[in-house]
Amino acid sequence: MPREEVMKWLRARFFPHIWCPGCGHGVIMHALLRSLTALDKKPEETVIASGIGCSSRMPGYINACTVHTTHGRSLGFATGIKLAKPELTVIDVMGDGDCTAIGGNHFIHACRRNIGITAIVMNNNIYGMTGGQASPTTPPGAKATTAPYGAIDPPFDICNLAAGAGATYVARATIAQPAMCEQYIKKGIQHKGFSVIEIVTHCHTQFGRKNKRSSPVDNLNFFKQASVAKAKADQMSPEELVGKIITGEFVNKDIPEYTEQYDKLIAKVRG
Amino acid sequence: MSKQFDVLINKGWCKGCGLCIAVCPKNVLELDDRVKCEPVRMDDCIGCRQCENICPDLAITVKEREQDA
């Protein structure tokens, strides 16, 4: 990808960015920008919404129509934007806590409605910005500041949650596969309906230092050895899959999109 | 002659995390004394762009070197 095209999408005056050295959020931002340039999107017709958290600093660096909203409620704002102007490309970037804990209700109802938003969930298993508290996706046994002896709660599987709630495109990749992230984001943006792309990333600062993965390279190697492609995972037993990250496309189906249905309803009622 | 590539590093943005060094299949990159990435064996670069894609700071650009006719 020629670098100049990606540079046009950056607010270069805010660089270098605020994330820690080696933070996976930068990898995801680069993958998102590459997919936007590959799809020939225009910055003035692209909306990027976010809530609160490290991940939600991302729109500040992207030179498009961006909105930084309240904690967990970014999907509500994005839904409003999409309903008012369905021709816009609306992307919502969220962290795991923002998406599944604080914004859990907004998330499942956006999935249910099947509105044409692309939700990118950056899952780093922890609340990084606020000091490393356990999040709904902290794996059992992993340590956090609020779980000093290891978490005992069963974690959320964001892809299963989205698929169960009715999202029509669901995929997962890790930051060790930047080309795959780009491919899924591209497919998610092209998909008509609510698409969820979970990208498993790391927080070596808060999660890693308590869980023996304190450098970005340790995390990269962990993702490489722990990720399993979906086709292979289908043939493995549940015992073999403990602690593994299943990557691939989980759902890809066509169901009428919400804003289209809404326009049809308006036309019908007006007669 | 095979293709040659230039690896350009924006040292103002590089934070020296070492992800590019870990993914490079040809061992082109190293950290310099300021803990910034430095392409020390640029002629070995095969242009796979893995370092460019993994760089969280968007500090790496891989460009094909223009050949003299």
**Which stretch of DSSP H or E encloses residue A189?**
helix A178-190
Contact B19 A6 (CB under 8 A): no
Contact B53 A17 (CB under 8 A): no
Task: Give CA–CA dist B29/B17, Å, rounded.
Answer: 12
Task: Give CA–CA dist A260/A263, Å, rounded.
Answer: 5
At A14, list the tokens: 């805010």
pLDDT in tens, B11-52: 999 999 999 999 999 999 999 999 999 999 999 999 999 999
At A121, list the tokens: 């969930």
- Write down the mean pLDDT value for chain A: 93
Task: Name the nearest CA neighbour of A58 among A97, A99, A26.
Answer: A26
Mean of pLDDT values over A238-262: 93
Cα dist from A267 to A51, A87, A173, A260, A270, whole Å: 34, 17, 40, 11, 5
Residue A5 is predicted with a pLDDT of: 85
Query: Interface pTM (ipTM) of the complex?
Result: 0.92
Q: How far is A265 from chain B (nearest CA, A)?
A: 44
Mean of pLDDT values over A174-187: 94
pLDDT in tens, A17-27: 999 999 999 99
At A111, list the tokens: 């999935």
All domains of chain A in start order, with CATH: 3-270 (3.40.50.970)
With a cut of 60, say whether residue A2 has pLDDT above it. no
Nearest to A26 among B18, B50, B57 (CB): B57
Is pTM beyond 0.90 here? yes
CA A213 to chain centre: 22
Beta-bridged to residue B61, according to DSSP, are B8
All domains of chain B in start order, with CATH: 5-64 (3.30.70.20)
Task: Give CA–CA dist A98/A52, Å, rounded.
Answer: 7
Contact A30 B53 (CB under 8 A): yes
pLDDT in tens, A190-237: 999 999 999 999 999 999 999 999 999 999 999 999 999 999 999 999
Residue A1 is predicted with a pLDDT of: 46
Residue A256: which pLDDT band, with cuts at 50, 70 and 90? Answer: very high
Q: CA-based Rg of chain B, rounded to a whole angstrom?
A: 12
Residue B66 is predicted with a pLDDT of: 83
